[in-house]
Amino acid sequence: MGATQAVGPTLSRKNKVGLGLAAALGLLDMTNVAGIPASDSDTPGPPTGVLVADVVLGLITVVAVVYTWRTANRTGSRVVAGSRILSAITALPALFVTGVPAWVVPVVSVLIVVTVVVIALVLSRPAPESATT
Confidence of residue 8 (pLDDT cuts 50, 70, 90): low
Helix (H, G, I), strand (E, B) or coil at 70: helix
Q: What is the pLDDT of residues 46-105, one digit of tens each?
A: 888 889 999 999 999 999 999 999 999 999 999 999 999 999 999 999 888 888 888 889
CA-nearest of 118, 49, 107 to 83 is 118
pLDDT bin (cut points 50, 70, 90) of residue 2 is: low
Range list of β-strands (E), the chain = 4-6, 130-132
The string of pLDDT tens digits covering residues 33-46 is 887 776 555 667 78
**Domain segments of the chain: what residues?**
10-36+45-126
Closest CA to 29 of 115, 105, 97: 115
Whether the pLDDT of residue 119 is over 90: the answer is: yes
Q: Supply the pLDDT for residue 36.
A: 72
- 99 versus 21: the higher-pLDDT residue is 21
What is residue 9's predicted lDDT score, i.e. its pLDDT? Answer: 74
